[in-house]
């Protein structure tokens, strides 16, 4: 199904909130997008996505749905399947790409198959991770299907004991070799990579650094050798295609500068990038000459079913 146009998408439902651990971030993204879409000339219905979301959507009768949900149920293919069932054009990636990107292990397999460099890693039980070092330190332990750096443990080099994981960590987690270096990210809009941003923080890029004003400093475009800039842009677009993403996505990288191109690895691709005042994709779009209302308009006009 072709994307909707501004002439046919007058009424847009913005899905936000939801029940995931990223609810607060989604509410912020949703409010920002709803305001921008009103500036862009759309009639907007904001919906906090709960168990009655299907009924709320039927009542709203939108021409298109802007998906501003983050985390489980919102970016893992679940709500996408519901929107396909309701035959409502929606934004961002479809069922398969969303589910694949949310599963970090399967996404890394898709990246590797596409010739992209990834960090070594494996799935392990929570009990095993707390009993012994599953990988030689330094390594990272994180949920296999969460975003926003939630539940991430960094085990430093020389650590004598394995990490003690929180009770709410899943029973199966991803253990991954620590990728040192500079934090880089690239947004892809449709069929083009926008720019490379370097994220500078005092510590590591955790949840607070991502969503607290002043928690991180973004350098865009990043001051990098042309070889690394071009590789990041190429890898992000290839990751977008390998997963089958649609609309807007954002891929994150680490670059260990002393190792040149061999030091660049892709960490993950986010199919629902944050759209908050401190988010990265809107910054890259602005550098490309697209202000926030124009970016939100583009995303809505790209909406479709069968994504």
| Residue 148 bears catalytic tag | yes
Rounded CA separation 288/284 (Å): 6
Catalytic one among 20, 93, 98, 148?
148
Rounded CA separation 64/8 (Å): 9
Coil vs helix vs strand at 93? coil
Coil vs helix vs strand at 267? strand
| Residue 270 bears catalytic tag | yes
Catalytic one among 90, 207, 211, 235?
211
Catalytic one among 30, 274, 279, 283?
274
| Residue 252 bears catalytic tag | yes
Catalytic one among 63, 252, 283, 301?
252
| Residue 227 bears catalytic tag | no
Catalytic one among 182, 238, 250, 307?
250
Catalytic one among 32, 176, 198, 268?
268
At 219, phi and psi to the nearest 5? -105, 110
Angle at 276 between CA 207 and CA 302, to 5 degrees: 120
| Residue 274 bears catalytic tag | yes
Asked whether the CA dihedral 52, 146, 129, 152 is positive or negative, the reply is negative
- Structure-token pair, residue 55: 């009924």
Rounded CA separation 279/273 (Å): 8
Nearest in space to 188 (alpha carbons), one of 113, 123, 148, 240: 240
In the chain, % helix, strand, coil (3-state, to 5) comes to 35, 25, 40
Nearest in space to 292 (alpha carbons), one of 40, 21, 10: 40
| Residue 43 bears catalytic tag | no
Catalytic one among 3, 22, 297, 304?
22
Active-site residue set: 22, 148, 211, 250, 252, 268, 270, 274
């Amino acid at each position: 199904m072709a994307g909707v146009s501004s002439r046919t998408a007058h009424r847009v439902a913005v899905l936000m909130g939801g029940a995931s651990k990223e609810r607060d971030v989604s509410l912020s993204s949703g409010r920002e997008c709803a305001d921008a879409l009103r500036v862009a000339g759309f009639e907007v219905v904001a919906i906090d996505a709960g168990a009655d979301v299907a009924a709320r959507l039927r009542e709203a009768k939108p021409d298109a749905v802007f998906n501003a949900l983050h985390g489980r149920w919102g970016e893992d293919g679940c709500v996408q399947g519901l929107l396909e069932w309701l035959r409502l054009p929606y934004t961002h990636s479809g069922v398969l790409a969303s589910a694949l990107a949310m599963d970090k292990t399967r996404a890394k397999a898709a990246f590797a198959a596409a010739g992209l460099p990834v960090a070594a890693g494996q799935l392990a039980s929570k009990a095993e991770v707390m009993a012994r070092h599953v990988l030689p330190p330094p390594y990272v332990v994180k949920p296999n299907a969460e975003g926003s750096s939630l539940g991430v443990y960094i085990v430093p080099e020389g650590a004598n004991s394995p990490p003690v994981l929180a009770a709410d960590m899943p029973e199966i987690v991803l253990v991954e070799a620590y990728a040192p270096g500079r934090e880089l990210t690239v947004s892809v809009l449709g069929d083009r990579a926008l720019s490379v941003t370097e994220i500078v923080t005092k510590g590591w890029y955790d949840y607070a650094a991502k969503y607290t004003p002043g928690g991180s400093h973004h350098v865009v475009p990043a001051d990098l050798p042309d070889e690394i800039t071009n590789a990041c842009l190429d890898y992000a677009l290839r990751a977008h295609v390998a997963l089958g993403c649609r609309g807007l996505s954002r891929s994150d990288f680490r670059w260990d500068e002393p190792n040149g191109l061999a030091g660049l690895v892709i960490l993950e691709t986010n199919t629902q990038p944050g759209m908050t005042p401190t988010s990265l994709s809107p910054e890259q779009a602005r550098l490309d000459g697209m202000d926030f209302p124009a970016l939100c308009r583009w995303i809505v006009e790209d909406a479709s079913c069968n994504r």
